[in-house]
Amino acid sequence: MNNVDSLNPATEPVSDLLSDAGLRALAAGTLMPGFTGTTMPDWIGSALDAGLGSVCIYGTNLTSPGQLADLMGRLRAASPTVLLTLDEEGGDVTRLHYLTGSNQPGNAVLGRINDPATTAASAAAIADELAALGFNLNLAPDADVNSTPENPVIGVRSFGADAALVAEHTAAWVTGLQDAGVAACAKHFPGHGDTATDSHLALPTIDVDVETLRDRELVPFAAAIAAGVASIMTSHIMVPALDADNPATFSRAILGELLRGALGFEGAIITDALDMAGACAITGIEVAAVRALAAGADLLCLGSETSAERYDGILDAIVAAVRAGDLPLERLCDAARRTAELAGAYQPAAPAGTGKAPDSATITAAFEVSDAARTWLADPALPALVQVGSEANMAVGHVPWGAAAVGADTDLDAVDRYAKIALVGRGLDAGHPVWQLADSLRADGRRVVVVECGWPRGGADLVTFGASLTVSAALAGLLDPRRATRESAPGTSA
């Protein structure tokens, strides 16, 4: 348990605060490591005893629902008040349902449904699941305006391309989650939607003027703040109009002058994972941690593969930075205090039971269906759904998606000669193999539609705006109505 209050520079001698134990306790209160494996490592237990601020769970920590419940029980028993955290956006980015796909449609579908009450109910349903397991902080929602269709890392994680719509649904999602007892975190400040570069792999640049940022990127974050969002996550991006020298995570101008000053945010500032290339590729994660704290971040996400050695190295770097005068003691105390206040405001609670996912008909109505797809759907021929391999970004990971997630896909070699074919993919850019395959099948006289399960980039006949389990089930029911009939018949299963 983090005894930050006993390490207040206003009440304690500086000599006590600058002791190894004092500084390490303060530093630990600002850190959020993940870990490898499916059981709680001994070093995590020791870190919790020494004041660790948060632990983040990733999809790679799961093998089954029962195993996750056991892991969470052990973590919560080790620290009744620590922030237990994950990225549960619903939709394509899921950790709770990493093995099967999410039971929620995700932001892009919710944006197209465009009913804030439905969005709030979806977030509340997520909160119910999180609270039942002991989580009290969710690194969601994504508040980015996806203004670049080719964006490789945001896409359907966004509520849409219109700033006002994204703002309305961001506020609804925050309210739904937090009213159900789990802290929200709007991300990725000051906006990651206008880039074609993935910050997991490189350092993107948002090269727009201040007026565009004010009228587009910042609008959803202002709405989240007005809704009382508990925390905001930084992005590892360059925004030259705001700071020509530092990525947002390391920018006093962006975190201090803009987020704290102009926007008036008083909650916790959380970094995106500092093991991402956009943060640490040049300096290493230890330097990145110090830079983020100095810029104004309060809680540092360290990534999914944090080891005991890396964790200790980061603690050592923070302590050394304070001793060298590179990180003011007051700033470290402030970061630890804000993190502790977040944990205090969102202590583990029982599920509220107020959440609900939209039904299949509502999800299907959000799809974009072209005239060609309507003609295909009206064709009485038997359908065959063929899933075409598509790479997911690192935020999504290896989660089942599309027709394959619901057992509705067919190998192309097994498709009947007279069947109509739906080629299902996602991230369908100009170089995706689905286009050549569709041309080849059409040249052979086959009746083919192309289905995009991601953000549309042009050319697809049907777009689902997501690939979660619940969206995939709705898609399969639309393309093959016989499947819905079979699943609803007594005594049958898919």
Render 106-130 in DSSP notation, one character per residue: -HHHHHHHT-HHHHHHHHHHHHHHH
**34 pLDDT tier (thresholds 50, 70, 90):** very high
* pLDDT tens readout for residues 121-179: 999 999 999 999 999 999 999 999 999 888 888 999 999 999 999 999 999 999 999 99
User: 144, 272, 409, 461: which is the annotated catalytic residue?
Assistant: 272
Please report the pLDDT score of residue 385 as a whole number. 98
**392 pLDDT tier (thresholds 50, 70, 90):** confident
> Which tokens sit at 257?
């002058």
- Alpha-carbon distance 41 to 90, whole Å? 27
* pLDDT tens readout for residues 174-198: 999 999 999 999 999 999 988 876 6
Closest CA to 314 of 302, 322, 324: 302
* pLDDT tens readout for residues 336-349: 999 999 999 999 99
Whether the per-residue pLDDT at 5 is higher than 60: the answer is no
Residue 89: DSSP 8-state: -
- What's the whole-model pTM score? 0.94
Please report the pLDDT score of residue 190 as a whole number. 96
Whether the per-residue pLDDT at 381 is higher than 50: the answer is yes
User: 169, 200, 236, 432: which is the annotated catalytic residue?
Assistant: 200
Please report the pLDDT score of residue 199 as a whole number. 63
Average pLDDT value for the chain: 93
Can 272 be counted among the known catalytic residues?
yes
- Alpha-carbon distance 47 to 302, whole Å? 14
Please report the pLDDT score of residue 202 as a whole number. 67
Which residues, at least 6 apart from 383, have a Cβ–Cβ distance to it below 8 Å?
419, 420, 421, 422, 479, 480
Please report the pLDDT score of residue 15 as a whole number. 47
Can 236 be counted among the known catalytic residues?
no
Between 481 and 5, the more confident residue is 481
- Alpha-carbon distance 234 to 191, whole Å? 9
Please report the pLDDT score of residue 42 as a whole number. 98
SS3 376: helix
- Alpha-carbon distance 280 to 301, whole Å? 12
